[in-house]
């Protein structure tokens, strides 16, 4: 499905990003995996070995403009182009009551969850537009559609990412580039551990949704594959909810 395609997946050292990178590589793409630590990425790349697509581990703190620039340059040096960009790296360092959040954490959240996507799109989309071909997938959250308690800034960054997705989709569609978002519900990763760790919490959480299991990273990756590949050729500007039916319950 992705043979010959070059993808960058941010935050691919674990969780949803890693599952997306693995799924893309299995589908034949060459994938640049990014995270903050080279050592971790090297280990992950070695574990992914054997997929049809090549894996290139490149350390990059997505909140740092120089890191982003270097990663995109190295990707071009290695592969000559970028066909698919997945803005997945995200954090929730501002978890807690809204009135206790200071400006430093507010700014950090904007930098990592939102501005990083802007920086990366600005860096890779011009090449996609020149080739009239590309797919950008932003990993938002159902928290960007309906607020999660004690996560005010997280909610704001994800809602803004959804609007960023729609705005770029409008302008880049005529140039052959599709831009979509995925809004996962609760997925079993380190980021959401607080909500599901422990049998009681886990049972309570899944009983609140029609699909009675906690989302797995691979279930989000399947949606990313659809959006990244030509099978999603008529889809742009959308926010695909992958939440086990949580939002409708
Ligand atoms: N899990 C859920 O329930 C859920 C639900 C909705 C949306 N999401 C979204 O899905 C995305 C992935 O989350 P996850 O659940 O897979 O979280 P995770 O397991 O904590 O993984 C986060 C990834 O982001 C990377 N990362 C964090 N800060 C970074 C930075 N400054 N620069 C580069 N990479 C950075 C981490 O790598 P290093 O630590 O190695 O740098 C890691 O690979 C996030 O955008 C999150 O908001 C998750």
Domain boundaries, the chain: 6-243
Count of CB atoms within 10 A of residue 49's CB?
A: 9
Ligand 1, atom 20: nearest CA belongs to which residue?
191
**DSSP summary character for residue 215:** B
Q: What is the pLDDT of residue 94?
A: 85
The set of catalytic residues is: 154
User: Is the predicted pLDDT of residue 65 greater than 90, yes or no?
Assistant: yes
Work out the pLDDT band at 50, boundaries 50, 70, 90: confident
Which residue among 90, 153, 161, 182 has the greatest number of ligand 1 atoms within 8 angstroms of its CB, and so is best to mutate? 90
The closest-lying atom of ligand 1 relative to the alpha carbon of residue 158 is 47
Mean pLDDT of all residues in 92-119: 96
Return the closest-CA partner of residue 9 out of 56, 46, 66, 42: 56
Task: Report the mean per-residue pLDDT for the chain.
Answer: 97
| pLDDT tens profile 125-179 | 999 999 999 999 999 999 999 999 999 999 999 999 999 999 999 999 999 999 9
The rounded Å distance from CA 231 to ligand 1 centre is 26
- Ligand 1 shell residues, CB under 6 Å: 10-17, 34-37, 40, 60-63, 88-91, 112, 139, 141, 184, 186-187, 189-192
| pLDDT tens profile 188-244 | 999 999 999 999 999 999 999 999 999 999 999 999 999 999 999 999 999 999 999
The radius of gyration of the chain from alpha carbons, rounded to an integer in Å, stands at 17
**DSSP summary character for residue 111:** I
d(CA 144, CA 153): 10
The closest-lying atom of ligand 1 relative to the alpha carbon of residue 195 is 3
- Are the C-beta atoms of 133 and 85 separated by less than 8 Å? no
Return the closest-CA partner of residue 61 out of 108, 96, 104: 108
Domain 6-243 is classified in which CATH homologous superfamily? NAD(P)-binding Rossmann-like Domain (3.40.50.720)
- Are the C-beta atoms of 131 and 174 separated by less than 8 Å? no
- The packing angle between helices 116-131 and 65-79, to 10°, is 30
Q: What is the pLDDT of residue 138?
A: 99
Q: What is the pLDDT of residue 207?
A: 97
Q: What is the pLDDT of residue 171?
A: 98
Distances (CA, A) of 142 to 130, 131, 162, 168: 33, 33, 10, 20
Q: Which two tokens stand for residue 176?
A: 């052959």
Mean pLDDT of all residues in 67-74: 98
Ligand 1, atom 7: nearest CA belongs to which residue?
141
pTM, two decimal places: 0.98
What residues pair up with 35 in beta bridges, in sequence order?
59
The closest-lying atom of ligand 1 relative to the alpha carbon of residue 12 is 43
Work out the pLDDT band at 49, boundaries 50, 70, 90: confident
């Amino acid at each position: 499905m992705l043979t010959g395609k070059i993808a960058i997946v941010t935050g691919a050292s674990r969780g949803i990003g890693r599952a997306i990178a693995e799924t893309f590589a299995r589908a034949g793409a060459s994938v640049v995996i990014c995270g903050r630590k080279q050592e971790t990425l090297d280990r992950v790349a070695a574990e992914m070995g054997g997929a049809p697509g090549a894996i290139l581990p490149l350390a990059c703190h997505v909140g740092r403009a120089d890191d982003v620039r270097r990663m995109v340059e190295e990707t071009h040096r290695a592969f000559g182009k970028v066909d698919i960009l997945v803005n997945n790296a995200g954090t929730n360092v501002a978890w807690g009551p809204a009135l206790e959040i200071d400006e430093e954490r507010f700014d950090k959240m904007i930098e990592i969850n939102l501005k990083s996507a802007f920086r990366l799109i600005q860096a890779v989309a011009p090449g996609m537009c020149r080739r009239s071909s590309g797919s950008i997938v932003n990993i938002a959250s159902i928290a960007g559609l309906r607020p999660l308690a004690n996560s005010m800034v997280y909610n704001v960054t994800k809602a803004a990412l959804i609007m960023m997705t729609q705005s770029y989709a409008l302008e880049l569609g005529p140039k052959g580039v599709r831009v979509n978002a995925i809004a996962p519900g609760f997925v079993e990763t380190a980021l959401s551990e607080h909500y599901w760790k422990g049998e009681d919490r886990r049972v309570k959480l899944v009983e609140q949704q029609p699909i009675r299991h906690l989302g797995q990273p691979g279930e989000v990756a399947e949606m990313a594959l659809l959006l990244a590949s030509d099978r999603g050729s008529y889809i742009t500007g959308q926010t695909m909810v992958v939440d086990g039916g949580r939002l409708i319950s």
